[in-house]
Amino acid sequence: MLLSIIYLIAISAEAMTGALSAGRRRMDLFGVVIIACVTALGGGSLRDIVLGHYPLGWVKHPEYLGFTICAALIATWVARWMHHFRRTFLVLDGLGLICFTLIGCAVARDGGHSVPIVLIAGMLTGAFGGVLRDVLCNEVPLIFQKELYAVITLLTGAAWLGLLELGMSLNAATLWCLGGGFAFRLLAIHFKWEMPKFVYRDEVH
């Protein structure tokens, strides 16, 4: 039940980030809905394909599409009152990132997969929807930019598995990692924590 609630929060948050991205590109409502659905459901779809988990989540539960579309339309309505547009976008994206990470880890763990696969499944679920959103909106994906992003999904997933291994209940571990991972993402944005960069200049002398 807890993971189901978290999932609904996640698809709503990510759908809103997709709608806001589409709005920045001046898309019509059809484009807004498509970008929102790809953002909210793309990561989970990729995870299910990689793990051979069929039918896909939104195919088995088409009501998820309804939540996604409603969240996207709500975002178009409230966007005019969002004075801190980018900050709101990043907060929603961070919330969706952590929620989806935990769900992806849970799906892989329930399927009996090894720890590395569980962590990768969490990262795919958390980050790939945002990658699709940014690519379709002709932006550099957040996962490839300077703030910590994919690393946070891996650390959140590892912490979740560690707490379960120590005997913590599923609900408690999920709530602790949800709060901790979300706070970590916000701190990374605020303090501009970065991964080391690789800079290569092909200069002809």
Distance, in Å, from the CA atom of 99 to the CA atom of 102, rounded to the nearest integer, reads 5
CA proximity to 127, closest of 109, 148, 107, 112: 148
Structure confidence at residue 102 (pLDDT): 95
Mapping DSSP onto H, E and C, the string for 138-154 reads CCCCHHHCCECCHHHHH
Structure confidence at residue 196 (pLDDT): 80
Structure confidence at residue 90 (pLDDT): 82
Structure confidence at residue 205 (pLDDT): 53
Residues in the chain predicted with pLDDT less than 70, given as ranges, are 82-86, 146, 203-205
The per-residue b/e assignment along 184-202, b for 16 or more CB within 10 angstroms, e otherwise, is bbeebbeeeeeeeeeeeee
Per the prediction, the chain carries an average pLDDT of 89
CB-based contact 109:170 (threshold 8 Å): no
Structure confidence at residue 84 (pLDDT): 59
User: What's this model's pTM, rounded to 2 decimal places?
Assistant: 0.87
Structure confidence at residue 129 (pLDDT): 92
